A and B are shown apart, each in its own frame.
Chain A
Amino acid sequence: MRPRAGLVSRPMSILGTRVVRTEDPVFLTRGATYTDDLTDERLTGALHLTLVRSPLAHATINSIDVEEARNAPGVVAVFTGADCDIAPALLFPAANKAMVRPFLATDRVRYVGEAVAAVLTEEAYQGEDAADLVDVDYEPLDAVVGMKEALKDEILLFPEAGTNTVTGMHLAKEDPGDELFADCEVVVSREIVNQRVAAAPLETRAASAYWGEDGRCTIFCSTQNAQSARDEVAAWMGMDAKDLRLILPDVGGGFGAKIGADPEFALVAWLSKKVGRPVRWNESRSENMTGMVQGRGQVQKITIGGDRDGTVKAYRLDVVADAGAYPRLGVVLPMFTRMMAPGTYDIPKVFSSAQVVATNTTSTAAYRGAGRPEATQAIERAMDLFADEIGMDPAELRKKNVIKPEQFPFTTKGGAEYDSGEYAKAIDLACQAADYEGLRAEQARRRERGDALQLGIGVSSYVEITGGGAFVENATVQVHADGTVTVLTGTSPHGQGHATAWAMLASEELGIPVEKITVKHGDTDLIPTGAGTMGSRSLQTGGVAVHNAAVELVELAKQRAADVLEANVDDLELDKANGSIVVKGAPGAKSVSLADLAGQEELKVFHEWDAKKPTFPFGAHVAVVEVDVESGKATVERIWALDDAGPILNPLIFDGQRHGGIAQGIAQAMLEEVVFDPEGQPLTATFADYGIPSAAELPSFDLVSMETPTTINSMGYKGVGEAGTIGSCPAVHNAVIDAVSHLGVRHIDMPLTPVRVWTAIHEAQKESAK
Chain B
Amino acid sequence: MIPVGFDYRRPDSIDAALALLAEHGDDATVLAGGHSLLPVMKLRLAAPEVVIDIGRLAELNYIRVDGDEVAIGAGTRYRDIVVSDVLAKECALLQAVTRTVGDPQVRHRGTLGGALAHGDPAGDLPAAILALEGTIVLRSPRGERKVPITEFYTGIFSSVKEPDELIVEIRVPRTGSTGWAYEKFTRRSNDWAIVAVAVVTAPDGARRIGLVNMGSTPLRAKATEAALAEGRSIEEAAALAAEGTEPPADNAGTPEYRRHLVTVLTRRALQTAAG
Contact A696 B2 (CB under 8 A): no
Contact B190 A694 (CB under 8 A): yes
Does B142 lie at the interface of the complex (its beta carbon under 8 Å from any beta carbon of A)?
Answer: no
Which of the 9-residue segments A84-92, A108-116, A328-336, A753-761 touches chain B?
A: A753-761
Contact A129 B4 (CB under 8 A): yes
Does A631 lie at the interface of the complex (its beta carbon under 8 Å from any beta carbon of B)?
Answer: yes
- CA of A671 to CA of B264 in the docked complex: distance in angstroms? 22
Does B244 lie at the interface of the complex (its beta carbon under 8 Å from any beta carbon of A)?
Answer: no
Q: Which of B221-275 contact A (CB under 8 A)?
A: 251-254, 257, 260-261, 264-265
* A689 touches which of B251, B253, B265 (Cβ 8 Å): B251
Chain A residues in 8 Å Cβ range of B5: 129
Chain B residues in 8 Å Cβ range of A755: 194, 252-254, 257
Does A511 lie at the interface of the complex (its beta carbon under 8 Å from any beta carbon of B)?
Answer: no
Min Cβ gap B149→A in Å is 26
Min Cβ gap B191→A in Å is 8
Contact B188 A693 (CB under 8 A): yes
Chain B residues in 8 Å Cβ range of A128: 1-2
Contact A684 B260 (CB under 8 A): no
Chain B residues in 8 Å Cβ range of A697: 188-189
- CA of A630 to CA of B185 in the docked complex: distance in angstroms? 12
Interface string of A281-302 (1 = CB under 8 A from B): 0001010000000000000000
Contact size range, A: 20 to 34
Contact A286 B188 (CB under 8 A): no
* B185 touches which of A286, A631, A759 (Cβ 8 Å): A631
Q: A691-B187, A696-B189, A758-B257 are in contact. Are A284 and B1 (CB under 8 A)?
A: yes
Query: Please, which residue of chain A has its CB at the minimum distance from the CB of B261?
Result: A631
- CA of A691 to CA of B186 in the docked complex: distance in angstroms? 11
Q: A129-B4, A630-B264 are in contact. Are A754 and B253 (CB under 8 A)?
A: yes
- CA of A450 to CA of B188 in the docked complex: distance in angstroms? 27
- CA of A330 to CA of B224 in the docked complex: distance in angstroms? 52
Chain B residues in 8 Å Cβ range of A18: none
Does A38 lie at the interface of the complex (its beta carbon under 8 Å from any beta carbon of B)?
Answer: no
Contact A754 B187 (CB under 8 A): yes
Interface string of B1-14 (1 = CB under 8 A from A): 11011000000000
Contact B44 A132 (CB under 8 A): yes
In the complex, number of A-B residue pairs with CB atoms less than 8 Å apart: 54
Does A638 lie at the interface of the complex (its beta carbon under 8 Å from any beta carbon of B)?
Answer: no
Min Cβ gap B2→A in Å is 5
- CA of A688 to CA of B116 in the docked complex: distance in angstroms? 21
- CA of A14 to CA of B237 in the docked complex: distance in angstroms? 67
Chain A residues in 8 Å Cβ range of B44: 132
Does A683 lie at the interface of the complex (its beta carbon under 8 Å from any beta carbon of B)?
Answer: yes
* B188 touches which of A125, A684, A696, A759 (Cβ 8 Å): A696
For B4, B44, B264, the residue with the greatest tally of chain A CB atoms inside 10 Å of its CB is B264
Min Cβ gap B11→A in Å is 26
Chain B residues in 8 Å Cβ range of A762: 260
Does A675 lie at the interface of the complex (its beta carbon under 8 Å from any beta carbon of B)?
Answer: yes
Does A633 lie at the interface of the complex (its beta carbon under 8 Å from any beta carbon of B)?
Answer: yes
Main SS at interface, chain B: loop
* B251 touches which of A684, A694, A696 (Cβ 8 Å): A684
Query: Please, which residue of chain A has its CB at the minimum distance from the CB of B260?
Result: A758
Chain A residues in 8 Å Cβ range of B190: 694, 696
Min Cβ gap A47→B in Å is 17
Interface string of B30-44 (1 = CB under 8 A from A): 000000000000011
Interface string of A668-695 (1 = CB under 8 A from B): 0001000100000001100001010110
Min Cβ gap A171→B in Å is 36
Interface string of B198-229 (1 = CB under 8 A from A): 00000000000000000000000000000000
- CA of A694 to CA of B194 in the docked complex: distance in angstroms? 17
Contact B187 A753 (CB under 8 A): yes
Contact B1 A671 (CB under 8 A): no
Contact B185 A754 (CB under 8 A): yes
Chain A residues in 8 Å Cβ range of B187: 671, 691, 753-754
* A694 touches which of B43, B189, B257, B264 (Cβ 8 Å): B189
Interface string of A243-260 (1 = CB under 8 A from B): 000000000000000000
Query: Please, which residue of chain A has its CB at the minimum distance from the CB of B103?
Result: A694
- CA of A683 to CA of B251 in the docked complex: distance in angstroms? 8
Contact A691 B188 (CB under 8 A): yes
Chain A residues in 8 Å Cβ range of B260: 758, 762
Min Cβ gap A667→B in Å is 10
- CA of A547 to CA of B264 in the docked complex: distance in angstroms? 61
- CA of A128 to CA of B2 in the docked complex: distance in angstroms? 8
Chain B residues in 8 Å Cβ range of A758: 257, 260-261
Contact B188 A671 (CB under 8 A): yes
* A286 touches which of B1, B4, B253 (Cβ 8 Å): B1
Contact B189 A759 (CB under 8 A): no
Query: Please, which residue of chain B has its CB at the minimum distance from the CB of A628?
Result: B264
Contact A125 B2 (CB under 8 A): yes
Q: Which of A625-677 contact B (CB under 8 A)?
A: 630-633, 671, 675
- CA of A754 to CA of B254 in the docked complex: distance in angstroms? 11
Interface string of A743-770 (1 = CB under 8 A from B): 0000000000111001100100000000
Contact B2 A753 (CB under 8 A): no
- CA of A6 to CA of B44 in the docked complex: distance in angstroms? 53
Chain A residues in 8 Å Cβ range of B1: 128, 284, 286
Query: Please, which residue of chain A has its CB at the minimum distance from the CB of B5?
Result: A129
Q: A284-B1, A689-B251, A759-B257 are in contact. Are A631 and B188 (CB under 8 A)?
A: no
Query: Please, which residue of chain A has its CB at the minimum distance from the CB of B257?
Result: A755
Interface string of A113-132 (1 = CB under 8 A from B): 00000000000110011001
Chain B residues in 8 Å Cβ range of A683: 251
- CA of A675 to CA of B190 in the docked complex: distance in angstroms? 20
Query: Please, which residue of chain A has its CB at the minimum distance from the CB of B192?
Result: A688
Contact A753 B252 (CB under 8 A): yes
Query: Please, which residue of chain A has its CB at the minimum distance from the CB of B43?
Result: A286
Chain A residues in 8 Å Cβ range of B254: 755, 759
- CA of A430 to CA of B91 in the docked complex: distance in angstroms? 49
- CA of A33 to CA of B199 in the docked complex: distance in angstroms? 50
Min Cβ gap A765→B in Å is 12
Q: A129-B5, A132-B44, A696-B189 are in contact. Are A675 and B194 (CB under 8 A)?
A: no
Min Cβ gap B195→A in Å is 9
Contact A694 B188 (CB under 8 A): yes
Chain A residues in 8 Å Cβ range of B2: 124-125, 128
- CA of A128 to CA of B47 in the docked complex: distance in angstroms? 14
- CA of A365 to CA of B191 in the docked complex: distance in angstroms? 29
Chain B residues in 8 Å Cβ range of A691: 187-188
Chain B residues in 8 Å Cβ range of A129: 4-5
Chain A residues in 8 Å Cβ range of B264: 630-631
- CA of A7 to CA of B65 in the docked complex: distance in angstroms? 64
For A671, A693, A696, A754, the residue with the greatest tally of chain B CB atoms inside 10 Å of its CB is A754
Chain B residues in 8 Å Cβ range of A286: 1, 43
Min Cβ gap A407→B in Å is 44
- CA of A132 to CA of B261 in the docked complex: distance in angstroms? 41
Interface string of A127-146 (1 = CB under 8 A from B): 01100100000000000000
Q: A129-B5, A675-B251, A755-B253 are in contact. Are A633 and B188 (CB under 8 A)?
A: no
- CA of A675 to CA of B250 in the docked complex: distance in angstroms? 11
Chain B residues in 8 Å Cβ range of A284: 1
Min Cβ gap B215→A in Å is 18
Give 6 new A-B contacts, CB below 8 A, not counting A694-B188, A755-B253: A632-B257, A675-B251, A689-B251, A694-B189, A754-B253, A755-B252
CB pairs A–B below 8 angstroms (29 shown): A124-B2, A128-B1, A128-B2, A129-B4, A132-B44, A284-B1, A286-B43, A630-B264, A631-B185, A631-B265, A632-B257, A683-B251, A684-B251, A691-B188, A693-B188, A694-B188, A694-B190, A696-B188, A696-B189, A696-B190, A697-B188, A697-B189, A753-B187, A753-B252, A754-B257, A755-B253, A755-B257, A758-B257, A759-B254
Q: Which B residues have a C-beta under 8 Å from some C-beta of A?
A: 1-2, 4-5, 43-44, 185, 187-190, 194, 251-254, 257, 260-261, 264-265
- Give 8 closest A-B pairs by Cβ, nearest first: A696-B189, A755-B253, A755-B257, A630-B264, A284-B1, A125-B2, A631-B264, A697-B188
